[in-house]
Amino acid sequence: MNTPLPAAVDIRDCRLRLGTAGTEVVAFQLDALRIEAGEQVALTGPSGCGKSTLLNLIAGLRRPDTGSIVVQDTELDRLSTSSLDTFRGRTMGFVFQTFNLLESFSAIENVMVGMRFGRVQQHGEWHTRAASLLERVGLQRHLHARPGRLSVGERQRVAIARAIGNRPALLLADEPTGALDPATAGIVFQLIREVCREGRCALLLVTHDLDLASQLPRQVDCRGLIRHLPTKEVSP
């Protein structure tokens, strides 16, 4: 009998104070969210509703004031800062709207940089795996090109290859198609889905594009995550 895989994400009673607005406190509140292993989920909602805050909490870039965030059976709040950094590098991949590539590095070097802190431990494996991933995303003829020589869509393909370099269990994608034209956005979106399926990687994708979101098996509307509360209702 196969042992069930742990949930990619399991959040319970998460609260985070973000600031104040007049006599009110601005707070992030999420009672529960569970993402199963390999599940593909779209986070939707208007700007400022809490989508990126949610990704930052799941990534451990912010810590909640109360509640628990469990990724791959590991409660993030129990990890030290250094342990959390290591866990993040080994467990999660990230794709951003702005790519975040190192301009002075080639495509293959950008992918290899992300492998320093992940599961691909042997340095000798880095080049082989990076080349294979770039071939997978259609960039086998651009291994040594720097980002400035690549199109916008090609740069996002490098970012995808970098994100999956460490065989993550969870891919967090924050508006990965936001800077792309509609045709390229569709291609990149499908590529992200395919590489996640192939790697049995859960996908949590933030998007304003409801047409793209509707193509994922599950959508989570994030409206209401950010709340303005009277000070007396917020725990110190």
Q: Is residue 224 part of a domain?
A: yes
pLDDT at residue 118 in the model = 62
Q: Is residue 67 part of a domain?
A: yes
Q: Is residue 166 part of a domain?
A: yes
Q: Is residue 2 part of a domain?
A: no
pLDDT at residue 123 in the model = 64
Q: Is residue 192 part of a domain?
A: yes
Q: Is residue 86 part of a domain?
A: yes
Task: Look up the domain containing 48 and give its range.
Answer: 9-233
* Lookup result for tokens 């990126």: 52
Mean pLDDT of the chain: 90
pLDDT at residue 5 in the model = 81
Q: Is residue 4 part of a domain?
A: no
Q: What is the CATH number of the domain that holds 158?
A: 3.40.50.300
Instruction: Give the burial class of 143: count Cβ atoms within 10 A of its Cβ; 0-12 exposed, 13-18 middle, 19 or more buried.
Output: middle
pLDDT at residue 235 in the model = 53
Q: Is residue 1 part of a domain?
A: no
Total domains in the chain come to 1
Record the pTM: 0.90
pLDDT at residue 24 in the model = 83
- pLDDT tens for the chain, residues 1 to 236: 566 788 999 999 999 999 887 778 889 999 999 999 999 999 999 988 999 999 999 999 999 999 999 999 999 999 999 999 999 989 999 998 888 999 999 999 999 987 876 655 566 788 899 999 999 999 999 999 999 999 999 999 999 999 999 899 999 999 999 889 999 999 999 999 999 999 999 999 999 899 999 999 999 999 999 988 776 555 54
pLDDT at residue 203 in the model = 97
